[in-house]
Amino acid sequence: MIADDRRCRRPTYSRTLLAVLLASLCAAPAAAEPREYLIDPDHFGISFRVRHIGYADTLGMFLRASGRFVYDEATRTLHSARVVVDTASVFSNHDKRDAHLRDADFLDVKSHPEAVFEGTGYEAAEEGKGRLRGTLMLLGQSRPVELAVTLNKSAVYPFPLAVARHTLGISASTTLRRSDWGMDYAVANGLVGDEVHMSFEFEANRQ
């Protein structure tokens, strides 16, 4: 009778084990989904260069900006993106020139304190590279732009933090014709180039 009782209990044990396994599978996380990333302001660089009277390029930066985007780790693709640049933070290491860049000849920061990029579509190319399409609102005008993007390291940040964070690094670049946004000061006479070469380097943290 003891042996018979044990045989009778085995199916119940098997069914219990199967139920636990099924529950575990159901509770397991689904495939990775796109997640929002917030750009770290301490690791966010925006630089530009523009030809000066044909002699050489003048280099500059924007010192304040913020942004966020949605990224799919599984497919390594970017989705929506938004970057806001404080135009008054322009810096070219020359006080008089910087004041000129802020006035109505160029950025007109009193009337347009922000330049805003909105990413609308991403096309992956070779591994880790792609093209991000979107629009740039500058001087009150919105024009299409396209950035060449390189997706760099994606991993948990290596330094000790109160809360572990997953960080993605991105490099991007594009070339703008400032006259497309009505910024045509000194273009016709060749004193200041029309083409502005932009570079972006930043780290962003998964939310």
Following DSSP, what letter does each residue of 44-106 receive, concatenated?
EEEEEEEEETTTEEEEEEE--EEEEEEEETTTTEEEEEEEEEEGGGEE-S-HHHHHHHHSTTT
Pick the residue with more confidence: 44 or 9? 44
Q: What is the mean pLDDT of residues 94-111?
A: 98
Q: Which of 91-100, 122-131, 155-164, 192-201 has the lowest mean pLDDT?
A: 155-164
pLDDT score at 21:
34
Is the distance from CB of 98 to CB of 109 less than 8 angstroms? Answer: no
Distance CA 202, CA 167 (A): 10
pLDDT score at 162:
58
Pick the residue with more confidence: 156 or 6? 156
pLDDT score at 29:
40
pLDDT score at 17:
35
Structure tokens at 200: 């972006």
Asked whether residue 134 carries a pLDDT value surpassing 50, the answer given is yes
Distance CA 159, CA 169 (A): 15
Task: Give me the percent of the chain exceeding a pLDDT of 90.
Answer: 78
For the stretch 80-111, what's the b/e string if a residue is b when 16 or more beta carbons lie within 10 angstroms of its beta carbon? bbebbbebbbbbbeeeebeeebbeeebbbbee
Pick the residue with more confidence: 164 or 65? 65
pLDDT score at 74:
92
Instruction: Give Cβ neighbours of residue 118 (< 8 Å, ≥ 6 apart).
Output: 81, 82, 134, 135, 137
Is the distance from CB of 51 to CB of 203 less than 8 angstroms? Answer: no
Segments of 107-158 assigned E as strands: 114-124, 129-138, 141-156
Distance CA 145, CA 199 (A): 13
Q: What is the mean pLDDT of residues 147-161?
A: 92
CA-atom Rg of the chain in angstroms: 26
Q: What is the mean pLDDT of residues 101-114?
A: 98
Structure tokens at 115: 């330049």
pLDDT score at 24:
38
In this prediction, residue 107 has a pLDDT band, given cuts at 50, 70 and 90, of very high
Asked whether residue 3 carries a pLDDT value surpassing 50, the answer given is no
Distance CA 122, CA 131 (A): 6
Q: What is the pTM of this model?
A: 0.82
pLDDT score at 126:
85
pLDDT score at 32:
66
Instruction: Give Cβ neighbours of residue 171 (< 8 Å, ≥ 6 apart).
Output: 149, 150, 152, 199, 200, 201
Structure tokens at 112: 């347009």
Mean pLDDT (the chain, rounded): 88
Pick the residue with more confidence: 160 or 174? 174
Instruction: Give Cβ neighbours of residue 39 (< 8 Å, ≥ 6 apart).
Output: 65, 66, 67, 68, 69, 83, 202, 203, 204
Q: What is the mean pLDDT of residues 189-193?
A: 98
